[in-house]
């Protein structure tokens, strides 16, 4: 679990390992009662009696301190009792509860890596002892203890007193191991008997015992577990009623434990009490000819209909296998197979789907749009996308599954309620687990989506948002084609920005971008050769072959064979990531290090090229998938393949962009991006006159700001001064600290702090704005973009310093990055609308951060360039101009600027 951390930098290796083991225990043992015991501190009655008790243990890593509270959050979400006792250790708490539970007739399992717990083992108590990390536990029964140590569990304490316990800093008798200790215990029954007969023991072992009798007696006293502590809970109080689904979703999503979350869901059913109800559904599986009548009977203009589909989705298209509709009146629902419709029903459904006056409620509408379009149907009247609504309500979640949202907002499970007669109200579907369970489930999804929409909209509308810009129109409302609204800015973000953008993104995914497969194959061969030659160069330096991609083998080479300075310690050794290798080279200049760095770079590029080749569809184009609900700041992400991580800073990385080419029937690719958009937003939001002037002047922005900081003319700014201020300018938009700036510039933290002080002396408005951001976020509990996109930051008041500081950095960067994300989305809507309004054949293909990529039809270059500059430049009114850079060429690289 090396370097486990969230995208915000919160280490999670300890909480991940603990949670993984706990889920396995819950799955395998299915306990009826459960508790987790914690040490309160390192001080206990044992340290009072022996100051050196556990003194040999290393200082607890700072990363672990920051995870203890996270473990507590996981346990609270799982509804597991946490117990501790001041002045005593967790082992004493366990001993007390185990003794009481066994006495009450329970079968007790103790999961612990401390062998002191072995003294508690009997016919009613078993210890689950970690055997291989956290993935394999040994069942220590009385027979297992006797087999391994030669004594019964009740005498394990005696054996430990004789041989000592290194982890507790309790030295044993030198020269006396477990076999000798077990033999003596067999002869004299106990430590007391051995001490009494010490003069009778022969040889060096006997002499050593007599010389260390005081240690043995002390060890025996200290390693006894206290089993009669007064605790605030009794065994009956530890009954486990299952986990809290909503809390688990929130905590696991915050920790980004998607794999563990899925394991929990698959291993353990969610407890029934938190969702006591299902959904009322009176459903029908329609046969040929029945759809027209159902639509006529159950749908009418202005009345929302829940829509759910099943099928396969991806690569810019999709295929439908089933479709379900649900309405509120009479809890009616229907299910149909799109491939079995007759001509009349097909036409009726097509007309219903394309009717903008018949509102549809859909969960995650973009793949639905693509699948319907592939079938020849268009979807109009999208009233609410419940996945996007949930994302705007809680942007820091990592999953917006319909099942979870139904429980969270409606307190219902995705199941049909049963009437008094015990039969499901789905016609012909009484056996929910039979052959038509999928049909039932899709109707339930349509119904749940319909019911969920009002709850989500109510949460968004209840925020009482202010107007976007005092005295001016709301740009989101304008993008939606409407004016000011009383619904609030969060609702307008949904209906005026995210949902319309969903349709634009679907079109971009369907279109894709041309790929030069021959060139990609050449690149793959090139990087494969570079991987091989780089590895050989490394072998030549060290005189032997080794696996350059193996962290373990790199550690062995660098720190054991070559004796290079140790880097940061992790659970699996000293880190050998790129930053660590760069630092090692700066210290030692060992010739193997550049080869290791080069190997990592070319291996990554080769992997990217291989992934791109596999992603080329039959039409010769790459169809990425854009995600709207991943980044809490509002930025779009790209997957399958990820086109937002194509390198641009290195020459070799830029070669990958050369593979993206203009398609048949089109003339050129055109790229357009915003120049320094984050800093322009910073100037606007901070109202800093000096920063605004630096933009308005039209001079090199970074040189202009450097001139002010260093008190020289702009033309006198040298390259180093410009680079330092450029790092500062961009860093401020990302919550950069003095330490982060020092790492970027290779200067001391003190120098970086001095540079920041100089900067803020010249740009006091920026300083005041950034300070006010954190104060306002701490007061309100959230930050907000220019368009009202909120990000809630409860950790701003956390007593965990690490989490609090991370939340403060998020409070600094979320409004700026989020506003940039909103502006590029507004620009996409404006450009798409303008292209259609002007009847141009050119089309938008990609969005990558602040850049848009277009395919230009013959004869349309001038019109498209003018349109793009205008619509992007006017997407949002700022106190400084939005600068748009444009380039054209036959491929993405050449079209760069």
Per-residue confidence (pLDDT) for residue 429, from 0 to 100? 38
Percent of the chain predicted with pLDDT > 70: 91
Q: What is the DSSP letter of 841?
A: -
701-710 and 719-732 helices, crossing angle to 10° = 100
Give the residue with greater pLDDT, 769 vs 417: 769
Do the first three CATH levels of 13-238 and 514-622 match, i.e. the same topology? no
Listed in sequence order, the residues at least 6 apart from 746 whose beta carbon sits closer than 8 Å to its beta carbon are none
As a whole number of angstroms, the distance between CA 758 and CA 320 comes to 61
721-728: long-range contacts at Cβ-Cβ below 8 A with a sequence spacing of 24 or more?
724/755, 725/759, 726/702, 728/755, 728/756, 728/759
pLDDT of residue 486: 36
The pLDDT assigned to 426 comes to 38
CB 281 within 8 A of CB 425: yes
CB contact at 8 A, 700 and 714 = yes
Q: What is the pLDDT of residue 382?
A: 97
Which pLDDT score is estimated for 62? 56
Most confident range (mean pLDDT) of 289-303, 427-441, 472-486 is 289-303
Kindly tell me if the per-residue pLDDT of 432 is higher than 60: no
416 or 330, which is more confident: 330
Cβ burial of 883 (10 Å; 0-12, 13-18, 19+) is middle
**Measured CA angle at 394 (ends 389, 399), to 5 deg:** 85
**How does 408-421 read in b/e, with b if 16+ C-beta sit within 10 Å?**
bbbebbbbbeeeee
State the average pLDDT over residues 447-475.
Answer: 73
Angle formed at CA 409 by CA 403 and CA 413, multiple of 5 degrees: 40
Rounded to an integer, the average pLDDT of 249-269 is 79
Read off the pLDDT of each residue in 607-618 and give the average, rounded to a whole number.
95
State the chain's maximal CA–CA distance in angstroms: 107
Residue 430 pLDDT > 80, yes or no? Answer: no
Q: Retrieve residue 320's tokens.
A: 């439908």
For the chain, the first-to-last Cα distance in angstroms comes to: 41
- pLDDT band (50, 70, 90) for residue 468: very low
Using CA atoms, how far apart are residues 136 and 782, in angstroms rounded to an integer?
Answer: 42
Instruction: Output the CA angle 464-465-470, nearest 5 degrees.
Output: 135
Kindly compute the dihedral angle of the four CA atoms of residues 287, 288, 293, 299, in this order, to the nearest 10 degrees: 70
* Tokens of residue 896, six digits: 């760069």
Q: To which H or E segment does residue 574 belong?
A: strand 573-574
**Strand 843-848 with 851-856, pairing:** antiparallel
- Convert 84-116 into a string of H (helix), E (strand) and C (coil): CCCCCCHHHHHHHHHHHHHHCCCCEEEECCCHH
CB 128 within 8 A of CB 136: no
- For residue 886, pLDDT over 90 is answered with yes
* Average pLDDT, integer, range 414-430: 45
Higher-pLDDT residue of 753 and 423 is 753
Cross-strand partners of 333: 283, 326
Residue 478 is predicted with a pLDDT of: 52
pLDDT averaged over the chain?
86
DSSP state for residue 153 in the 8-state scheme: G
Q: What is the pLDDT of residue 521?
A: 97
Question: What is the arithmetic mean of pLDDT over 371-380?
Answer: 95
Rounded to whole angstroms, the Cα distance separating 129 from 556 reads 30
**Which one, of 720, 784, 725, lies nearest residue 760 by Cα?**
725
**How high is the pLDDT of residue 289?**
80
pLDDT of residue 865: 97
Cβ atoms of 196 and 216 within 8 Å: the answer is: no
Average pLDDT over residues 160-165: 90
CA dihedral 469, 472, 478, 482 (to 10 degrees): 110
Count of positions (residues) in the chain: 897
pLDDT the model gives residue 60: 54
pLDDT (average), residues 47-68? 68
User: How many other CB atoms are there within 10 angstroms of residue 258's CB atom?
Assistant: 12
pLDDT at 763: 85
Residue 425 confidence (pLDDT) above 70: no
CA distances from 127 to 102, 139, 327 (A): 13, 6, 55
30 closest CA partner among 212, 247, 267, 289: 267
Whether the pLDDT of residue 813 is over 80: the answer is yes
More confident residue, 122 or 747: 122
Q: How many angstroms separate the CA atoms of 532 and 545, rounded?
A: 12
Q: What are the structure tokens assigned to 193, written together? A: 């008997």
**Helix, strand or coil, per DSSP, at residue 514:** strand
**Residue-level pLDDT at 423:** 33
Does residue 483 have a pLDDT over 90?
no
> How many CB atoms neighbour CB 377 within 10 A?
19
Confidence of residue 59 (pLDDT cuts 50, 70, 90): low
Q: What is the pLDDT of residues 552-600, one digit of tens each?
A: 999 999 999 999 988 877 666 788 888 889 889 888 999 999 999 999 9
SS3 886: strand
Predicted local distance difference test score (pLDDT) of residue 464: 55
pLDDT at 269: 64
pLDDT in tens, 817-857: 999 999 999 999 999 999 999 999 999 999 998 999 999 99
pLDDT (average), residues 750-757: 84
Distance CA 658, CA 567 (A): 38
* 40-55 average pLDDT score: 76
* Mean pLDDT, residues 611-638: 94
Closest to 644 in 3D by CA, of 845, 846, 888: 846
Among residues of the chain, what percentage have pLDDT more than 90? 53
Q: Encoding tokens for residue 323? A: 């479709």
Contacts of 234 (CB under 8 A, 6+ apart): 100
Instruction: With cut-offs at 50, 70 and 90, classify the pLDDT of residue 402.
Output: very high
Decide: 91 and 114 in contact? Cβ < 8 Å. yes
Q: Report the CATH fold assignment for 514-622.
A: Taq DNA Polymerase; Chain T, domain 4 (1.20.1060)
pLDDT at position 202 is 85
**pLDDT reading at 354 higher than 50:** yes
Which of 629, 631, 633 shows the shortest CA–CA distance to 816? 633
Class of domain 13-238: alpha beta
- Predicted confidence at residue 516, as pLDDT, reads 97
- Greater confidence (422 vs 538) lies with 538
Say if residue 546's pLDDT is above 80: yes
Determine the average pLDDT of the residues in 314-330.
91
Higher pLDDT, 443 or 259: 443
Residue 384 sits at φ, ψ, to 5 deg, of -145, 130
Is 309 a residue whose pLDDT tops 50?
Answer: yes
Q: Is residue 206 within 8 Å of residue 174, measured between CB atoms?
A: no
Number of H helices, E strands in the chain: 35, 28
Band (pLDDT 50/70/90 cuts) for residue 2 is very low
Quick count: other Cβ atoms within 10 Å of Cβ 535? 21
pLDDT band (50, 70, 90) for residue 746: confident
Q: Per DSSP, what are the bridge partners of residue 791?
A: 783
- In CATH terms, 678-818 corresponds, of 3.40.50.300, 1.10.3720.10, 2.60.40.10, 1.10.150.20, to 1.10.150.20
Give domain 275-462's CATH number out of 3.30.9.10, 3.40.630.30, 3.40.1390.30, 3.30.420.10: 3.30.420.10
Tokens linked to 321: 């296998």
> Average pLDDT, stretch 758-764?
84
Comparing 309 with 437, the larger pLDDT belongs to 309
CA-to-CA dists, residue 531 to 363, 527, 654, angstroms? 45, 6, 18
Work out the pLDDT band at 797, boundaries 50, 70, 90: confident
């Amino acid at each position: 679990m090396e370097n486990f951390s969230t995208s915000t930098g919160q280490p999670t290796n300890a909480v991940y390992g603990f949670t993984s083991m706990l889920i396995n225990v819950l799955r395998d043992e299915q306990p009826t009662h459960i508790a987790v015991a914690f040490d309160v501190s390192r001080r206990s009655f044992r340290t009072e009696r022996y100051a050196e008790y556990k003194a040999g243990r290393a200082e607890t890593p700072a990363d672990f301190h920051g995870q203890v509270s996270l473990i507590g959050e996981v346990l609270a979400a799982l509804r597991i009792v946490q117990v501790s006792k001041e002045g005593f250790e967790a082992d004493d708490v366990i001993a007390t509860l185990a003794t009481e539970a066994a006495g009450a007739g329970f079968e007790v399992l103790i999961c612990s890596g401390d062998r002191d717990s072995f003294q508690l083992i009997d016919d009613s108590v078993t210890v689950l002892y970690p055997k291989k990390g956290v993935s394999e536990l040994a069942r220590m029964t009385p027979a297992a203890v006797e087999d391994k140590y030669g004594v019964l569990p009740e005498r394990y304490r005696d054996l430990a007193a004789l041989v000592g316990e290194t982890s507790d800093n309790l030295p044993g008798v030198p020269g006396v191991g477990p076999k000798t200790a077990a033999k003596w215990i067999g002869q004299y029954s106990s430590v007391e008997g051995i001490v009494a007969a010490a003069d009778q023991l022969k040889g060096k072992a006997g002499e050593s015992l007599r010389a260390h009798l005081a240690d043995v007696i002390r060890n025996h006293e200290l390693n006894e577990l206290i089993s009669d502590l007064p605790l605030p809970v009794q065994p009956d109080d530890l009954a486990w009623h299952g986990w809290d689904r909503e809390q688990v979703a929130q905590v696991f999503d915050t920790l980004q434990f998607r794999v563990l979350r899925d394991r929990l869901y698959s291993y353990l059913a969610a407890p029934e009490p938190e969702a006591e109800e299902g959904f009322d559904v009176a459903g029908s599986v329609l046969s040929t000819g029945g759809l027209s009548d159902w639509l006529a009977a159950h749908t009418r203009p202005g009345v929302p209909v829940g829509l759910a589909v099943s099928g396969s989705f991806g690569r810019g298209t999709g295929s439908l296998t089933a479709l379900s509709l649900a309405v509120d009146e009479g809890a009616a629902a229907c299910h149909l197979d799109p491939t079995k419709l007759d001509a009349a029903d097909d036409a009726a459904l097509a007309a219903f789907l394309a009717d903008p006056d018949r509102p549809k409620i859909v969960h995650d509408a973009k793949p639905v749009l693509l699948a319907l379009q592939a079938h020849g149907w268009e979807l109009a009247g999208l009233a609410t996308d419940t996945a996007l609504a949930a994302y705007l309500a809680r942007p820091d979640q990592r999953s917006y599954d319909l099942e979870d949202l139904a429980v969270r907002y409606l307190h219902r499970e995705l199941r049909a309620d049963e009437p008094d007669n015990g039969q499901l109200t789905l016609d012909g579907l009484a056996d929910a687990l039979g052959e038509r369970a999928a049909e039932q489930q899709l109707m339930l999804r349509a119904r749940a989506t319909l019911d969920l929409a009002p709850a989500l909209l109510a949460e968004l509308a209840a925020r009482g948002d202010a107007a976007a810009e005092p005295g001016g129109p709301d740009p989101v409302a304008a993008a939606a084609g409407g004016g000011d609204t009383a619904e609030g800015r969060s609702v307008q973000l949904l209906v005026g920005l995210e949902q319309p953008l969903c349709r634009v993104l679907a079109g971009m995914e369907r279109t894709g971008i041309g790929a030069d497969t021959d060139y990609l194959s050449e690149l793959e061969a090139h990087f494969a050769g570079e991987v091989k030659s780089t590895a050989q160069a490394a072998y030549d330096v060290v005189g032997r072959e080794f696996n350059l991609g193996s962290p373990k083998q790199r550690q062995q080479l660098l720190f054991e064979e070559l004796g290079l300075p140790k880097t940061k310690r992790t659970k699996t050794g000293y880190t050998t990531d790129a930053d660590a290798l760069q630092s090692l080279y700066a210290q030692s200049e060992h010739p193997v290090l550049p080869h290791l760095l080069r190997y990592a770079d070319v291996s990554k590029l080769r992997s990217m090229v291989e992934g791109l080749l596999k992603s080329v569809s039959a039409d010769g184009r790459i169809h990425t998938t854009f995600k709207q609900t991943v980044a809490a700041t509002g930025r779009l992400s790209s997957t399958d393949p990820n086109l937002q991580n194509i390198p641009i800073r290195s020459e070799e990385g830029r070669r990958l962009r050369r593979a993206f080419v203009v398609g048949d029937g089109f003339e050129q690719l055109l790229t357009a991006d915003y120049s320094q958009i984050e800093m322009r937003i910073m100037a606007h939001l901070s109202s800093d006159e000096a920063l605004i002037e630096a933009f308005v002047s039209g001079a090199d922005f970074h040189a202009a700001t450097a001139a002010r900081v260093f008190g020289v003319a702009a033309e006198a700014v040298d390259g180093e001064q410009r680079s330092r201020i450029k790092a500062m300018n961009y860093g401020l938009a990302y919550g950069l600290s003095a330490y982060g700036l020092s790492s970027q510039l290779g200067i001391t933290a003190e120098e970086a702090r001095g540079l920041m002080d100089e900067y803020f002396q010249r740009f006091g408005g920026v300083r005041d704005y950034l300070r006010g951001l954190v104060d306002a976020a701490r007061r309100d509990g959230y930050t907000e973009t220019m368009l009202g996109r909120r990000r809630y930051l409860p950790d701003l008041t956390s007593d965990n310093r690490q989490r609090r500081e991370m939340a403060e950095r998020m409070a600094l960067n979320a409004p700026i990055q989020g506003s940039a994300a909103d502006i590029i989305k507004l620009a996409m809507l404006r450009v798409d609308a303008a292209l259609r309004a002007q009847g141009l054949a050119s089309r938008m293909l990609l969005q990558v951060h602040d850049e848009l990529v277009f395919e230009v039809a013959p004869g349309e270059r001038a019109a498209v360039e003018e349109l793009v500059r205008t619509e992007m430049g006017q997407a949002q009114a700022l106190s400084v101009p939005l600068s748009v850079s444009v380039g054209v060429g036959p491929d993405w690289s050449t079209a760069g600027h």
